């Protein structure tokens, strides 16, 4: 990807995107939930979403139907694999302004989880992951 493409996508991500460390219920986990990273870029402009998806095929494309008749169809690009998140953020990080702290945190989280999985693919969540989840919630609230 060119420098210009990385900078442009970084601008879109800064304005529209989300970096999350989220929880979801999981009966197999000792805490009853699991924590996972996710990057999302939502937009109503299908041609913009298609262009980004062409540049970064690691994204999964979701289509969301309008909930009300006055709403438009929206599209969301999603990355949830830690290695793909690392690759994406490393490409756009130099150009980020607004979401730098969230991206630093999600990079740290992804690297830590990948290291843990080298020794135990089902490594349980530790206090550090839970602290990162809580810190990300705070960072994302500040940007509201």
* DSSP per-residue string spanning 17-49: -EEEEEEEE-TTSTTSEEEEEEEEEEES-HHHH
Most confident by average pLDDT, 26-40, 60-74, 91-105: 91-105
**Secondary structure string (H, E, C) spanning 70-126:** CCCCEEEEEECCHHHHHHHHHHHHHHCCCCHHHHHHHHHHHHHHHHHHHHCCCCCCC
Confidence of residue 111 (pLDDT cuts 50, 70, 90): very high
**At a CB cut-off of 8 Å and minimum separation 6, what does 94 contact?**
6, 10
129: tokens are: 């992951």
Residues of the domain holding 85: 3-142
pTM score of the predicted model: 0.84
Residues 6 or more apart whose CB falls under 8 angstroms from that of 16 comprise 41, 42, 43
At 25 the pLDDT is 66
Q: Which two tokens stand for residue 81?
A: 């694999």
CATH of the domain at 110: 3.10.28.10
| Residues 41/12, Cβ–Cβ less than 8 Å | yes
Which of 29-38, 52-61, 75-84, 85-94 comes out lowest in average pLDDT?
A: 29-38
Domain count of the fold of the chain: 1
pLDDT in tens, 34-78: 788 999 999 999 999 999 999 999 898 988 887 888 888 899 999
Q: What is the pLDDT of residue 68?
A: 85
Confidence of residue 31 (pLDDT cuts 50, 70, 90): low
Tokens of 43: 């937009």
Strand partners, 35: 23
């Amino acid at each position: 990807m060119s420098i210009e493409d990385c900078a442009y996508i970084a601008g879109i991500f800064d304005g529209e995107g989300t970096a999350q460390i989220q929880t979801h219920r999981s009966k197999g986990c000792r805490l009853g939930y699991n924590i996972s990273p996710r990057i999302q870029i939502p937009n109503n402009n299908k041609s913009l979403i298609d262009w980004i998806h062409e540049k970064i095929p690691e994204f999964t494309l979701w289509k969301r139907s309008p909930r009300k008749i006055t709403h438009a169809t929206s599209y969301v690009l999603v990355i949830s694999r830690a290695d793909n998140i690392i690759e994406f953020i490393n490409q756009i990080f130099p150009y980020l302004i607004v979401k730098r702290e969230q991206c630093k945190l999600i990079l740290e989280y992804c690297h830590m989880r990948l290291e843990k999985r080298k020794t135990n693919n089902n490594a349980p969540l530790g206090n550090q992951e839970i602290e990162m989840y809580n810190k990300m919630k705070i960072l994302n609230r500040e940007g509201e």
